[in-house]
């Protein structure tokens, strides 16, 4: 947790020097992308000398790298309290606010930098880009009407999308998606090929229809002797997903995987900032990017296996007494809110100590072992599975094994060095079995290659 001293007393010269030495060690770990170790060392430096803005600014940067946007925001603010001329802190705070979709607050910080450095081209470019986002969002709100009237799915006419003779990629058989098509599609993507837009649109239309028919909480039944696989975050790491299938077999009725559910990165803001929207627009059209938003809005929020194991992306709730029926009743066809059941299912994280705490991410909550135990008892559950956090071995058991994290993207964003993992279990005892694996080679494409240019702040 971000530790911010309440007051700064007299600091000895010895402690000042120790703090500087530790800060240099922290910087070394940061450069090696050992962000957790860097955070610990920056914290030590802060405890020795709480009056140095750069310590908070550096720790804020490390928190940004680990997606702890709430802590990053707090540290950047503290740095500016200590030194209002510390330009990097404005950038750090702007970055955290952008990640949380608070573009007006980010714009204010960019404006502060421009005021101090009116000839700084980089600062002016970031201010201009952020201002464009704020204006675009305001325009979209102004023209927004009833959601049903804006449905992209009903506007698409597949018959007008002809298949060119020179197209040699995967094709449907008699207008139907088959296993052979999927196998050909995987091989196509391994070679960095591109699916014809007609087939891409048809798949999306079929998927949105499927998701619309599902509840916010989907019930799954596994027979006693049947195996079931649960994966966590993939984060678009396609070649690592292919590796999972190589190790564990392709999904099928005989070898089922967890159904797709919503995560915190499926919001419009995340798609705009981290590059998914940009990639879809570059490879297809703006209309398809809007259709993806429609698909994501209908993604279920949680899955329930055999009435005993609940699976969600983030975690549990700040309010006591939430039931499975409460989750079923959530109207999810919208952008994720900043609070409530839907928000916390997408954003929350477990913590080792009892109770709930403000989230390190700036949204959602952190919930303790007592919260997990109470929720399970109230709803007759054995344990929960969630993802949302990088883990060194790809998984972690918390809260006496009642809260399991599984993260399936190894060496996340080519920087974290973590393993990925997946879970297999059988319907009879629902005992989780963990398989860890390392990242596999992939083409030389930079992570988040299509991300908004403002995210260069995080580079």
Distance CA 425, CA 227 (A): 6
Residues forming a β-bridge with 423:
230, 434
Q: Say if CB 353 and CB 368 are below 8 A apart.
A: yes
**Of the listed 29, 196, 235, 265, which one is catalytic?**
265
CB 341 within 8 A of CB 317: yes
Quickly count: other Cβ atoms within 10 Å of residue 31's Cβ.
Answer: 9
**303 annotated active-site:** no
Instruction: Give CA–CA dist 369/400, Å, rounded.
Output: 8
Give me the residues paired with residue 383 across strands. 309
- Cα–Cα distance measured from residue 52 to residue 46, given in angstroms and rounded to the nearest whole number: 8
- State the pairing for strand pair 356-358/349-350: unpaired
Question: How far is 130 from 106, CA to CA, in rounded Å?
Answer: 7
**Radius of gyration of the chain from Cα atoms?**
23
> Which of 448, 423, 418 minimizes the C-alpha distance to 434?
423
H-state helical runs in 117-173: 121-143
Dihedral angle sign, alpha carbons of residues 83, 89, 91, 97: negative
φ/ψ bin of 384: left (φ > 0), alpha (ψ from -120 to 50), beta (otherwise): beta
Report strand pairing: 227-231 vs 420-426.
antiparallel
CB atoms within 10 A of CB 174: 5
Measure the CA–CA gap between 366 and 351, rounded to whole angstroms: 6
Name 380's Cβ contacts closer than 8 Å, sequence gap at least 6.
307, 308
CA 330, CA 321: separation in Å to the nearest integer?
A: 15
Packing angle, helices 87-99 and 121-143, rounded to 10 = 30
Sign of the torsion angle spanned by Cα atoms 280, 172, 215, 387: negative
Closest CA to 86 of 47, 49, 60: 60
What is residue 83's three-state secondary structure? coil
Cβ neighbour number for residue 203 with a 10 Å cutoff:
16
Residue 172 CA to residue 184 CA, distance in Å, equals: 10
Active-site amino acid positions? 265
């Amino acid at each position: 947790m971000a530790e911010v001293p309440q007051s700064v007393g007299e600091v000895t010269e010895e402690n000042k020097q120790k703090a500087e030495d530790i800060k240099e060690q922290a910087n070394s770990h940061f450069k090696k992308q050992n962000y957790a170790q860097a955070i610990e060392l920056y914290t030590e430096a802060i405890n020795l000398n709480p009056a140095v803005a750069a310590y908070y600014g550096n720790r804020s940067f490390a928190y940004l790298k680990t997606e702890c946007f709430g802590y990053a925001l707090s540290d950047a603010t503290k740095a500016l309290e200590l030194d209002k001329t510390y330009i990097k802190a404005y950038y750090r705070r702007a970055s955290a606010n952008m990640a949380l979709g608070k573009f007006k607050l980010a714009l204010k910080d960019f404006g502060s930098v421009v005021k101090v450095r009116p000839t700084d081209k980089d600062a002016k470019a970031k201010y201009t880009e952020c201002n464009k986002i704020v204006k675009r969002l305001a325009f979209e709100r102004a023209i927004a009407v009833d959601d049903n009237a804006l449905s992209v799915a009903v506007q698409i006419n597949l018959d007008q999308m002809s298949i060119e003779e020179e197209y040699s990629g995967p094709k449907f058989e008699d207008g139907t998606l088959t296993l052979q098509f999927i196998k050909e599609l995987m091989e196509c993507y391994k070679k960095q090929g591109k699916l014809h837009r007609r087939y891409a649109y048809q798949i999306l239309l079929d998927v949105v229809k499927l998701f619309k028919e599902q509840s916010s909480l989907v019930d799954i039944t596994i027979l006693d002797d049947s195996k079931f696989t649960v994966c966590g975050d993939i984060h678009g790491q396609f070649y690592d997903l292919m590796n999972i299938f190589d190790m564990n077999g392709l999904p099928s009725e005989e070898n089922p995987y967890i159904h797709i559910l919503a995560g915190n990165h499926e919001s419009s803001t995340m798609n705009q900032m981290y590059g998914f929207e940009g990639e879809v627009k570059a490879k297809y059209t703006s209309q398809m990017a809007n259709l993806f938003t429609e698909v994501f809005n209908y993604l279920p929020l949680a899955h329930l296996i055999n009435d005993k194991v609940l699976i969600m992306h983030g975690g549990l709730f700040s309010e006591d007494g939430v039931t499975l029926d409460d989750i079923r009743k959530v109207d999810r066809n919208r952008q994720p809110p900043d609070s409530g059941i839907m928000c916390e299912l997408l954003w929350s994280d477990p913590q080792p100590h009892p109770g709930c705490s403000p989230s390190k991410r700036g949204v959602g909550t952190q919930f303790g072992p007592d919260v997990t135990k109470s929720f399970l008892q109230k709803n007759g559950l054995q344990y929960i599975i969630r993802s949302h956090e990088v883990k060194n071995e790809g998984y972690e058991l918390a809260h006496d094994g009642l809260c399991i994290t599984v993260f399936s993207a190894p060496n996340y964003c080519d920087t974290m060095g973590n393993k990925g993992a997946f879970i297999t279990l059988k319907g009879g005892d629902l005992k989780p079995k963990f398989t860890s694996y390392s990242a596999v080679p992939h083409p030389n494409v930079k992570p988040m290659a299509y991300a908004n240019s403002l995210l260069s702040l995080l580079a």
